[in-house]
Amino acid sequence: MAAHQTILSSPMHVGSAPAAMAATLNFDANSTLRNAGLRSPVPHSESKQLPAMFIEADKNQRSSEDSWEASEHAELEVPVLDLEVLNSGPDKLGQRQELVKAMAKACQKWGFFQVLNHGVDQALIDRCEVEAHRMFALPLEVKERVHRPPGTSFGYGANTWVNQKVLHWAESFHMQLHPTSNIHEMAAKLFAEGDPNQFSSAVEAYMTAVEGLARRLLELLTEGLGLEPRHFSQYLEKERMISMRFNFYPPCPEPSLAIGLRAHTDPHLLTILHQDSVAGLQVQIHDKWVTVKPRPDCFVVNIGDLFQVLSNTMYKSVLHRAFVNSSSQRLSLACFLNPPLNATVATPPELITPEWPQIYRPFTWLEYLKNAYLYHPITGADRHERFFLSANSCANS
Ligand code: OGA
Ligand code: NI
């Protein structure tokens, strides 16, 4: 079998990446929150009725706390893994190996786990959350200064997929730190009357710290696949794409009819999410929706589509969603670790065996975004199957 370069092979020429992104990524074409009637931080309307554009007609897509059963089944709980052992001396080597195994097992079964003693300063997390709340609390017309225009992926908006008719009961703000930060620029518009630096310095410091954690986790997860820890991470040293989305879910008048964030898989390599103390995130396992217990002292880590491909599906990129409630607002900070847009993503030959034959053809991250990320997946496989080895001929359809 031909040896494929794993990730970040010599850059293919894909044209100007941002221009290509702008031309092809159209996440947010026709939904402004103004039209939707959603005002920050809660709808101004006194009405106890959910506006029609938020009513999810498909009952299977609706989510509520009732649909989870985790509390009765300990085995249905996303594992919490303690990273403390990484800080200890050589005597803890055995425990480190146990941690690597537990992490790999969690990714095989759940595609999700939480990490405790992660090394990111709690004060920094709090600071970033304060800034996120400050941002969402701005008047809508101020937030719209950084409105995510059709055809782009960064800025403030409703975070909808092109084929999505029902709006999420949420506001979102998506920023990029690498390869070039757009955070200062957006902060200058949002906080023109105040101190933009207070926002951008907190957000950048937070993202930098979380990126460090993401790389450590990437290396442990790579080791869990039986590869050299730096097999993938070495390629991200020079170039990488780091972005973060703030997700803000205001209290919802009729939560059982709405959805905070529809079931989806993350297209990225790795997602590191911090949720506040309000429950909302659910993960699908064995056709059940399980709530990820809010642990503000933890980060939620999940495998994205790219890591599923790199691991030849040993690690799973799993469907997840967010539900909303009527009494409490909820904030999550989702950081995404990615290769640069022109990197080639291909399963390393070491992970291709007769028992685990190669499933995906090599592709670039940009190609994946263009083909897979525009549209909401109906099932987890909908995105992936366009990139199956046997689907070469229709890959661009
Ligand atoms: C995401 C996501 C879940 C949440 O931003 O991709 O899955 O709890 N967020 O906000
Ligand atoms: Ni997600």
Alpha carbons 292 and 35: distance in angstroms, whole number: 32
pLDDT at residue 163, as a whole number: 66
Backbone phi, psi, residue 161, to 5° = -90, 160
Would you state the pLDDT for residue 55?
80
Please check the confidence at residue 21 and state whether its pLDDT lies above 90. Answer: no
Q: Is the CB of 275 under 6 A from ligand 1?
A: yes
Residue 254's contacts (CB-CB under 8 Å, 6 or more residues apart) are 48, 49, 50, 55, 326
Residue 64 has pLDDT above 60, yes or no: no
Q: What is the mean pLDDT of residues 59-69?
A: 57
> Is the per-residue pLDDT at 145 higher than 60?
yes
Q: Are strands 270-275 and 241-249 parallel, antiparallel or unpaired?
A: unpaired
- Assess whether pLDDT exceeds 60 at residue 143: yes
Q: What is the mean pLDDT of the chain?
A: 83
Residue ID of nearest Cα to ligand 1 atom 5: 334
pLDDT at 370 over 60: yes
pLDDT for 301: 98
Predicted local confidence at residue 39, as pLDDT: 40
Q: Give residue 31 CA to ligand 2 midpoint distance, Å.
A: 20
**What's the gap in Å between 331 CA and the centre of ligand 1?**
10
Minimum-distance ligand 1 atom for the alpha carbon of 302: 7
| pLDDT more than 90, % of the chain | 62
What is the arithmetic mean of pLDDT over 375-394? 68
27 pLDDT band, cuts 50/70/90, is: very low
Tokens of 65: 């706390």
Q: Which of 174, 247, 295 should be mutated for ligand 1, with most atoms under 8 A from CB?
A: 247
Q: What is the pLDDT of residue 32?
A: 37
Looking at residue 162, its pLDDT comes to 65
Lowest mean pLDDT among 23-27, 75-79, 283-287: 23-27
DSSP 102: H
pLDDT band for 12, please (50, 70, 90 cuts). very low
pLDDT at 288 over 90: no
Name the 3-class secondary structure at 165: coil
Domains of the chain: 14-25+60-342 (2.60.120.330)
Select the more confidently predicted residue: 90 or 236: 236
> What's the mean pLDDT in 47-68?
68
Q: Inform me whether the pLDDT recorded for 141 exceeds 70.
A: yes
What is the position in ligand 1's atom list of the atom closest to the CA of 249?
Answer: 10
Which is more confidently placed, 10 or 283?
A: 283
Distance CA(223)–CA(230), nearest Å, equals 8
287 has a pLDDT exceeding 90: no
Tell me the per-residue pLDDT of 295-352, one tens digit each, with 9 for 90 and over.
999 999 999 999 999 999 999 999 999 999 999 999 999 999 999 999 999 999 999 9
Half-sphere exposure of residue 77: CA atoms within 13 angstroms, side-chain side: 11
Give the pLDDT band of residue 48 (cuts 50, 70, 90): confident
For ligand 1, whether the C-beta of 247 sits within 6 Å is: yes
Q: For residue 31, what pLDDT is reported?
A: 37
97 C-alpha to ligand 2 centroid (Å): 28
- Residue 94: pLDDT over 80: yes
330, 361, 383, 386: which is the annotated catalytic residue? 330
**Of 315, 295, 305, 371, which Cα lies nearest the Cα of 337?**
305
Burial of 163 (0-12, 13-18, 19+ CB in 10 A): exposed
Quickly state the pLDDT bin for 284 (edges 50, 70, 90).
Answer: very high
Kindly state the greatest CA–CA separation across the chain: 64
75 pLDDT band, cuts 50/70/90, is: low
Counting from 1 in the atom list of ligand 1, the atom nearest the Cα of 320 is 7
- Which of the pair, 191 or 8, is modelled with greater confidence? 191
- Res 61 pLDDT > 90: no
Q: In whole angstroms, give the CA distance from residue 73 to residue 285.
A: 12
Angle between helices 196-224 and 183-190 (to 10 degrees): 150
Residue type, 123: A
Cβ of 159 closer than 6 Å to ligand 1, yes or no, is no
Query: Which residue, 31, 73, 83, is CA-closest to 54?
Result: 31
Q: How far apart are CA 66 and CA 44, in angstroms?
A: 28
- Tell me what the mean pLDDT of segment 128-154 comes to: 89
What's the Rg (C-alpha) of the chain?
A: 20
Q: Which residues surround ligand 2, an ion (CB under 5 A)?
A: 266
Which of the two residues, 391 and 281, has the higher pLDDT score?
A: 281
Whole-number pLDDT of residue 167: 84
Give yes or no: 383 in active site.
Answer: no
CA distances from 160 to 247, 260, 261, 307 (A): 12, 11, 9, 23
In this prediction, residue 220 carries a pLDDT of 98
Number of Cβ within a 10 Å radius of residue 162:
15
Confidence of residue 276 (pLDDT cuts 50, 70, 90): very high
Atom 1 (ligand 1) nearest CA: 334
* Model confidence pLDDT, tens digit, residues 325-338: 999 999 999 999 99
Q: What is the DSSP string of 211-271?
A: HHHHHHHHHHHHHHTTS-THHHHGGGTT--EEEEEEEEE---SSGGG--SEEEE---SSEE
Which ligand number lies closest to the CA of residue 170?
1
- The CB-based long-range contact list for 140-143 (8 Å cut-off, 24+ gap) reads 140/33, 140/34, 140/39, 140/40, 142/190, 143/40, 143/171, 143/173, 143/190
Q: Which residue has the higher pLDDT, 88 or 176?
A: 176
Ligand nearest to the backbone CA of 63: 1
CA nearest ligand 1 atom 8, residue: 281
Q: Does residue 138 contact residue 190 with C-beta atoms inside 8 Å?
A: yes
